[in-house]
C-alpha cells in the first residue's frame, strides 16, 4: 500500500502518522502542500496539527492549499482519504465531508485517552473492527464539537456515514466536546473519505498507552 | 474602500464562548444580561471606489473563505 502524508505549514502529527503507516507495512511519502499529488497512491492522509496556525477557523486556509485541488479530484475518482483531527477539519472545510467544527463546549483544549465505539464497520477504514467494539484512542483538540443539521444527520445515519462515537469503557455514550450525538468520526456517502478527531497514529504501541490504532489503520490494507 | 465583515454563529448553534462570558457578567453583578454571542469582525480594504462592486466582492470573499456557511452568518457593511 502506498500512502501519502500531506504536510501543511503548522502540521505537527506528520511524523507520527508516517511512522504509524510504516509500522503496518505501507510505503509512505510526505507530500508538501505546494506540490502536485503524485500518481499511484492508495491512500492520502491529512494528519493532525495546526495548519496555518488555525487562523480564521481550523482548516479554513489549508483548504485552499495547492495540493487540495488534486485531493478533491482524487476523492471524486474514489481515492481513499483519511483526515485525522486537523485533517478532519480541513475535509469539512473542503466540503468533502458534511458538517462543521465549533469550539469544544467546555472551551478547554482536551488531551487524553478517550474510549470510542465503532458504530458502523461497513467501510474500508473500520473493516477490521466489530460493530459495538470499544477502542481506546487519544484525543487532542480544542475544536472538535461536531455540528451538522438534523436533516443531513438523518441521511448520514441511513447511509452508514456515522462511524465512531465517544463512549465510556462499557460502550455507553459520553460527550467530551459537545459533538452532536457524541460523534467522533464520519465518512462520505461513497465511503472513500474518512474523518475523525481521535488520533489512531498515537495508539500503535503498548509502551505508549495502547495499540488499538493498529486495527483501524490496517483496515486500509484491505 | 473599507468594508467590515461581521461574522456570527447561526441561531441554534451553541456558542460556548458567549455562554462563558454571560456567566462571568452575571458573576460581576450584571443580572440583566439576557444573552451573549461572540463573533468576529474582519476589516477588508478593496481597491475600488464603487460601493456596489466592493460589497459584491467582499460578499464573495465571505462566502468562499471568511465565513463557514454551515454554522456562521455574516453581514458586510461599508466603512465611511
Q: How far is B67 from chain A (nearest CA, A)?
A: 9
pLDDT the model gives residue B16: 87
SS (H, E, C) A33-64: CCCCCCCCCCEEEECCECHHHHCCCCCCCHHH
Q: Which domain holds residue B6?
A: 2-79
Average pLDDT of the residues in B55-72: 96
Say how far apart CA A112 and CA A119 lie, in whole Å.
21
Q: How far is CA B15 from CA A102, A109, B32, B35, in A?
A: 8, 16, 19, 11
User: What cell does A152 get?
Assistant: 443531513
Residue A46 confidence (pLDDT): 98
Q: Rounded to the nearest 5°, which phi and psi values hold at A160?
A: 70, 35
Residue B50 maps to which CATH number? Answer: 3.30.1280.10
Domain count, chain B: 1
Q: With contact defined as beta carbons under 8 Å apart, do B45 and B54 qualify?
A: no
Residue A29 · residue A17 · CB < 8 Å? no
Q: Look up residue A89 and give its three cell numbers.
A: 477539519
Count of C-beta atoms within a 10 Å radius of residue B13: 17
Judged by a CB distance cut-off of 8 A, whether residue A99 touches chain B is yes
Give the best residue of B7, B70, B74 to mutate against chain A (max A CB count within 10 A).
B70
**A172 catalytically annotated:** no
Q: What is the pLDDT of residue A157?
A: 98
Average pLDDT of chain B? Answer: 95
**Contact: A178, B16; criterion CB under 8 Å:** yes
Over residues B19-26, the mean pLDDT reads 94
ipTM of this predicted structure: 0.82
Q: Residue A69 catalytic? A: no
Q: Do B71 and A102 touch (CB under 8 A)?
A: yes
DSSP state of B62: I
Are the beta carbons of A105 and B14 separated by less than 8 Å? yes
SS3 category, A85: coil
Residue pLDDT tens, chain A, 222 long = 999 999 999 999 999 999 999 999 999 999 999 999 999 999 999 999 999 999 999 999 999 999 999 999 999 999 999 999 999 999 999 999 999 999 999 989 999 999 999 999 999 999 999 999 999 999 999 999 999 999 999 999 999 999 999 999 999 999 999 999 999 999 999 999 999 999 999 999 999 999 999 999 999 998
Q: Which CATH number fits domain A2-221: 3.30.70.2190, 3.40.50.2000, 3.40.50.880, 3.40.50.300?
A: 3.40.50.880
Residue entry with cell 457524541:
A182
- Cβ pair A27, A220 in contact under 8 A: no
> Which cell is A200 given?
489512531
Q: What is the pTM of this model?
A: 0.93
Amino acid at each position: 500500500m502506498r500512502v501519502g502524508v500531506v504536510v501543511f505549514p503548522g502540521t505537527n502529527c506528520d511524523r507520527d502518522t508516517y511512522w504509524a503507516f510504516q509500522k503496518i507495512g505501507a510505503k509512505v511519502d510526505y507530500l508538501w502542500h505546494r506540490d502536485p499529488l503524485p500518481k499511484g497512491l492508495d491512500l492520502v492522509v491529512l494528519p493532525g496539527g495546526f495548519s496555518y496556525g488555525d487562523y480564521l477557523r481550523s482548516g479554513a486556509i489549508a483548504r485552499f492549499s495547492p495540493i487540495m485541488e488534486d485531493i478533491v479530484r482524487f476523492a471524486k475518482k474514489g481515492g481513499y482519504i483519511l483526515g485525522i483531527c486537523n485533517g478532519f477539519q480541513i475535509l469539512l472545510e473542503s466540503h468533502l465531508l458534511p458538517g462543521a467544527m465549533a469550539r469544544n463546549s467546555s472551551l478547554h483544549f482536551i488531551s487524553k485517552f478517550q474510549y470510542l465505539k465503532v458504530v458502523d464497520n461497513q467501510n474500508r477504514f473500520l473493516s477490521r473492527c466489530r460493530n459495538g467494539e470499544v477502542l481506546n484512542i487519544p484525543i487532542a483538540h480544542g475544536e472538535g464539537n461536531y455540528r451538522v443539521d438534523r436533516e443531513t444527520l438523518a441521511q448520514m445515519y441511513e447511509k452508514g456515514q456515522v462511524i465512531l462515537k465517544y463512549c465510556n469503557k462499557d460502550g455507553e455514550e459520553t460527550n467530551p466536546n459537545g459533538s452532536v450525538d457524541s460523534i467522533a468520526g464520519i465518512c462520505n456517502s461513497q465511503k472513500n473519505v474518512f474523518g475523525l478527531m481521535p488520533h489512531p497514529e498515537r495508539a500503535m504501541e503498548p509502551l505508549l498507552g495502547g495499540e488499538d490504532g493498529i486495527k483501524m489503520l490496517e483496515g486500509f490494507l484491505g | 474602500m473599507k468594508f467590515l465583515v461581521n461574522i456570527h454563529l447561526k441561531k441554534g448553534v451553541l456558542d460556548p464562548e458567549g455562554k462563558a462570558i454571560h456567566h462571568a457578567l452575571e458573576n460581576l453583578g450584571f443580572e440583566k444580561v439576557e444573552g451573549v454571542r461572540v463573533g468576529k469582525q474582519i476589516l477588508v480594504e478593496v481597491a475600488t471606489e464603487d460601493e456596489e462592486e466592493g460589497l459584491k466582492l467582499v460578499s464573495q470573499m465571505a462566502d468562499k473563505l471568511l465565513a463557514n456557511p454551515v454554522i456562521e452568518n455574516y453581514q458586510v457593511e461599508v466603512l465611511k
